A and B are shown apart, each in its own frame.
Chain A
Amino acid sequence: MSVVPVSYYLVLSAVLFGLGVIAFVFKRNIITILMAIELMLNAVNLAFVAFARAWGQLDGLVFVFFVIVVAAAEAAVGLAIVIRIYHNRQSLNIERANLLKF
């Protein structure tokens, strides 16, 4: 039973990451932008797991855990901030929250 080479997974993770980046700059809705970040993190996780398997080491997987935890923390705080912004500006469009400038 032949198996899939690592590079397939890596390319996939690269593509997902790129899409995440594109979404990150393309979307206007703050919540969606946070989702784009999550997408990037997921892509990175995929690369982690793939590498870990390729080298036959577990450290990569452990790091996946840490990435997930950080993602959770980030989501919690980020969404709290989103709620704040919505309460203050009645809008989720990131381009409308632009007071922090010169």
Chain B
Amino acid sequence: MPILEHLWIILALPLAGAASNGLFGKNWSKTIINSVGIGSVSLAFLSVLEAIREFSLLPDGQVSFFKNYFNWMAAGSFKVDFALQMDHLTIVMLLVVTFVSLLVHIYSAGYMAHEEGYYRFFAYLNLFVFFMLTLVLAANIVLMFVGWEGVGLCSYLLIGFWFLKQSAINAGKKAFITTRIGDFGFTVGILLLFWTFGSVDFGTVFAKAANMPAESATQAGVLTWICLLLFAGAIGKSAQLPLYVWLPDAMEGPTPVSALIHAATMVTAGVYMVARMHALFSRAPIAMFVVAAVGAITAFYAATIGLVQTDIKKVLAYSTVSQLGYMFLGCGVGAYAAGIFHLMTHAFFKGLLFLAAGSVIHAMGGEQDMRNMGGLRKQIPVTYWTMFIATLAIAGIPGFAGFFSKDEILDAAGSGSDAHLTLWVLALAGAGLTSFYMFRLIFLTFFGKPRFDEHKVHVHESPRSMTVPLMILALLSIVGGWFAAPHLLGKTDHFEAFLHPVFATYGVPAGLEQRASLAGAAGEQGGIFATPAMELLHAVTGPPVVLAIIGLLVAWWFYVRRPDAPKKLAESVHGLYKLLLDKYYVDETYERVIIRPFLWISANVFWHVVDENVIDGTVNGVASVAREVGGQARELQSGNARSYATWVVVGAVGFTVLMLGVWGMVR
């Protein structure tokens, strides 16, 4: 059946699942709920595959498939259709979203087995999938915004899933409100976009934008503003500086949620959006630089915080933030493909990391603090190995997925047309730190002596439904990057080539054009590495790899060889340690600088002054005026029917005189 013609089916499936589970699931057995939830997602995945097959059959000239289903709203020239589109970028996202969420669903079946509101959880998950797919498939920015907000909503619901836990509730609120701040920018961006191009359709907008000249790097034009505003939304959604604060707290939610929403899919929506909007971004150098800078700084900054965190999920959260930073850096320097590539690989290994962490927590009976773990290597081998693979991947050890993608980003940042040395350095440092804190996590968790009471905690391997997804993801974390492998031998990067048509469509400036096809790009970068072999050698012994190895060794030294060393170090540089441990006091600063004044103003100005005096005053004033007028007018109501009768006669006389008089005149 032609899925491509009916892309809406892909959306409808999870929505149906969500609806049925959410409405009727309360009285259903876990089996039914599972079959509905997982079934709908797997069907969605299959239909995505089918859609891709059909897409591949399209004539070569056609870059994207567009279909308009119905007119959603129309106000004057402002017209929004419910239209979906599909191109290579969408395909990547679709695959990642549906597949990862499928795995997470399966995983959740095991992980949440003993939870209250099981049906609720799956309904939310399905709903999330629906909105994420909407976001990805949307053919205009308004519809995209719908998905954008929808995933935000689901994130809120799922973070606060245990709504009896105050911390969970607060975390949910925090996530929602913080992203709102970004979304405000996003909304204004949309308005500006419409005001500029007179349309919200991607196709139209990009086509118009393609005819505009690239703006100068010195002063900002309208494109720059649009991009910056949209990017504000991305900052909120993808937890970049300065709005990243909600993501660590979001770890209050169930671990599968963290894996799916706060690592693999939702948080990458910002990156996707930037990549989708490349036609605008690549014409706004300032915006590009901002993106890159924010990305790089965040990457480094979050990594530093990650160094000292003790909660296993918090570490992963900060690492997510920093990895997202890498993706933005990639987009910022024009290597969209690299950004998306990293997005994909990151989805694999970070999802895996979270799931594995979840498995660890499961095994430890809810314990999240790494200081109370250790030596789990033997008890839960599957978790251990998969997690180790993921760590290798994220650390960028050659041969694993993360290596390729991160290498491309760094490469672009360091030697690209829009390269910035500082950013490159930051990113490199971040890479080193990443490798350090990830291995720190591994060592603390799985090596050394158990630091918990083994009689109390009964460590056990997770059920099959949890381990199988781990294995699958582990496999992907290894092979997921090999599209790009030939690149190291100076051949084409398949992934990039696959996405090339998308980024080539709207007359992208020359600098990126070269990047897009990397065949022989290395040759230009410096004559010294002439042969493929040298190229490969250079790649695998490049600075990132070196730093990664260093990080590994340092971590090993600190946490396996000399377990007491960290404490000493911490005491020696106590200030810095404290600073990092308290995450640079960002939350406290926000509390003081923004929230408290805001509350104060709301209470003392808007409530006691504006509301009580101005608004109430107006309303009461109107009321009292009406009362006065009525009090005067009621005198007419004498209660004496004869007076009323006389008034009626007055009316009759007036009417007859008027009508008949006029009539007579006409006559």
A24 on the interface (CB 8 Å rule)? yes
Check if B642 sits within 8 Å of A101, measured CB to CB: no
Give the interface size class of chain B.
10 to 19
How far is A82 from B476 in the complex, measured between Cα atoms in Å? 95
Find chain B residues with CB under 8 A from A84 CB: none
Find chain B residues with CB under 8 A from A102 CB: 634-635, 637, 639
Find chain B residues with CB under 8 A from A97 CB: 641
How far is A98 from B642 in the complex, measured between Cα atoms in Å? 10
Check if A100 sits within 8 Å of B649, measured CB to CB: no
Check if A100 sits within 8 Å of B646, measured CB to CB: no
CB distance from B663 to the nearest CB of A (A): 15
B638 contact from A24, A25, A94, A98, Cβ within 8 A = A98
A4 on the interface (CB 8 Å rule)? no
Find chain A residues with CB under 8 A from B637 CB: 101-102
Check if B639 sits within 8 Å of A25, measured CB to CB: no
A89 on the interface (CB 8 Å rule)? no
A77 on the interface (CB 8 Å rule)? no
The digit string for A41-60, where 1 denotes a CB below 8 A from any CB of B, is 00000000000000000000
Find chain A residues with CB under 8 A from B640 CB: 94-95, 98, 101
CB distance from A11 to the nearest CB of B (A): 14
B652 on the interface (CB 8 Å rule)? yes
The digit string for B624-667, where 1 denotes a CB below 8 A from any CB of A, is 00000000001101111110011001001000000000000000
Number of A-B contacts (CB under 8 A): 32
The digit string for A8-40, where 1 denotes a CB below 8 A from any CB of B, is 000000000000010011001000010000000
* Nearest B-chain residue to A22, judged by Cβ: B649
Check if B642 sits within 8 Å of A28, measured CB to CB: yes
Check if A98 sits within 8 Å of B646, measured CB to CB: no
Find chain A residues with CB under 8 A from B645 CB: 24-25, 33
Find chain B residues with CB under 8 A from A99 CB: 639
Q: Which of A69-102 contact B (CB under 8 A)?
A: 94-95, 97-102
CB distance from A76 to the nearest CB of B (A): 20
CB distance from A56 to the nearest CB of B (A): 23
Find chain B residues with CB under 8 A from A24 CB: 645, 649
CB distance from A27 to the nearest CB of B (A): 9
Check if B635 sits within 8 Å of A25, measured CB to CB: no
* Nearest B-chain residue to A26, judged by Cβ: B642
CB distance from B15 to the nearest CB of A (A): 60
Check if B642 sits within 8 Å of A21, measured CB to CB: no
Check if A25 sits within 8 Å of B634, measured CB to CB: no
Find chain A residues with CB under 8 A from B642 CB: 25, 28, 94-95
How far is A24 from B643 in the complex, measured between Cα atoms in Å? 11
How far is A95 from B640 in the complex, measured between Cα atoms in Å? 6
Find chain A residues with CB under 8 A from B646 CB: 25
Give the interface size class of chain A.
10 to 19
How far is A98 from B637 in the complex, measured between Cα atoms in Å? 10
How far is A29 from B641 in the complex, measured between Cα atoms in Å? 11
How far is A61 from B515 in the complex, measured between Cα atoms in Å? 96
Known contacts A25-B645, A25-B646; is-contact A101 B652 (Cβ 8 Å)? no
Find chain A residues with CB under 8 A from B634 CB: 101-102
Check if A101 sits within 8 Å of B649, measured CB to CB: no
* Nearest A-chain residue to B646, judged by Cβ: A25
Find chain B residues with CB under 8 A from A101 CB: 634, 637-640
How far is A100 from B638 in the complex, measured between Cα atoms in Å? 8
How far is A97 from B641 in the complex, measured between Cα atoms in Å? 8
* Nearest B-chain residue to A27, judged by Cβ: B642
How far is A33 from B646 in the complex, measured between Cα atoms in Å? 13
CB distance from A13 to the nearest CB of B (A): 14
* Nearest A-chain residue to B653, judged by Cβ: A21
Check if B652 sits within 8 Å of A94, measured CB to CB: no
How far is A8 from B657 in the complex, measured between Cα atoms in Å? 21
Check if B652 sits within 8 Å of A21, measured CB to CB: yes
CB distance from B123 to the nearest CB of A (A): 59
Check if B639 sits within 8 Å of A100, measured CB to CB: yes
How far is A97 from B642 in the complex, measured between Cα atoms in Å? 11
How far is A85 from B652 in the complex, measured between Cα atoms in Å? 28
Find chain A residues with CB under 8 A from B652 CB: 21
CB distance from A84 to the nearest CB of B (A): 15
CB distance from B588 to the nearest CB of A (A): 64
Check if B639 sits within 8 Å of A98, measured CB to CB: yes
CB distance from B636 to the nearest CB of A (A): 9
How far is A99 from B638 in the complex, measured between Cα atoms in Å? 9
* Nearest A-chain residue to B635, judged by Cβ: A102
Q: Which of A28, A99, A102 has the most CB of B within 10 A?
A: A102
CB distance from A100 to the nearest CB of B (A): 5
CB distance from A64 to the nearest CB of B (A): 22
Find chain B residues with CB under 8 A from A94 CB: 640-642
Q: Which of B508-531 contact A (CB under 8 A)?
A: none
How far is A100 from B644 in the complex, measured between Cα atoms in Å? 12
* Nearest A-chain residue to B634, judged by Cβ: A102
CB distance from A9 to the nearest CB of B (A): 18
CB distance from B667 to the nearest CB of A (A): 15
* Nearest B-chain residue to A24, judged by Cβ: B645
Check if B641 sits within 8 Å of A21, measured CB to CB: no
Find chain A residues with CB under 8 A from B638 CB: 98, 101
How far is A94 from B634 in the complex, measured between Cα atoms in Å? 20
How far is A21 from B645 in the complex, measured between Cα atoms in Å? 9
How far is A10 from B591 in the complex, measured between Cα atoms in Å? 89
CB distance from A65 to the nearest CB of B (A): 25
How far is A21 from B653 in the complex, measured between Cα atoms in Å? 11
* Nearest A-chain residue to B645, judged by Cβ: A25
CB distance from A98 to the nearest CB of B (A): 4
Find chain A residues with CB under 8 A from B649 CB: 21, 24-25
* Nearest B-chain residue to A17, judged by Cβ: B652
CB distance from B48 to the nearest CB of A (A): 73
How far is A79 from B469 in the complex, measured between Cα atoms in Å? 89
Find chain A residues with CB under 8 A from B641 CB: 94-95, 97-98
CB distance from A16 to the nearest CB of B (A): 15
CB distance from A20 to the nearest CB of B (A): 11
* Nearest B-chain residue to A98, judged by Cβ: B639
The digit string for B246-262, where 1 denotes a CB below 8 A from any CB of A, is 00000000000000000
24 A/B residue pairs, CB under 8 Å, sorted by A: A21-B649, A21-B652, A24-B645, A25-B642, A25-B645, A25-B646, A25-B649, A28-B642, A33-B645, A94-B642, A95-B640, A97-B641, A98-B638, A98-B639, A98-B640, A98-B641, A99-B639, A100-B639, A101-B634, A101-B637, A101-B638, A101-B639, A101-B640, A102-B634
Q: A25-B645, A95-B642 are in contact. List 18 more A-B contacts (CB 8 A).
A: A21-B652, A24-B645, A24-B649, A25-B646, A25-B649, A28-B642, A94-B640, A95-B640, A95-B641, A97-B641, A99-B639, A100-B639, A101-B634, A101-B637, A101-B640, A102-B635, A102-B637, A102-B639
Query: Which B residues form the contact surface with A (CB < 8 A)?
Result: 634-635, 637-642, 645-646, 649, 652
Q: Which 9 A-B residue pairs are closest in the complex by CB-CB distance? A: A101-B639, A98-B639, A102-B634, A25-B645, A101-B637, A94-B641, A98-B640, A102-B637, A25-B646
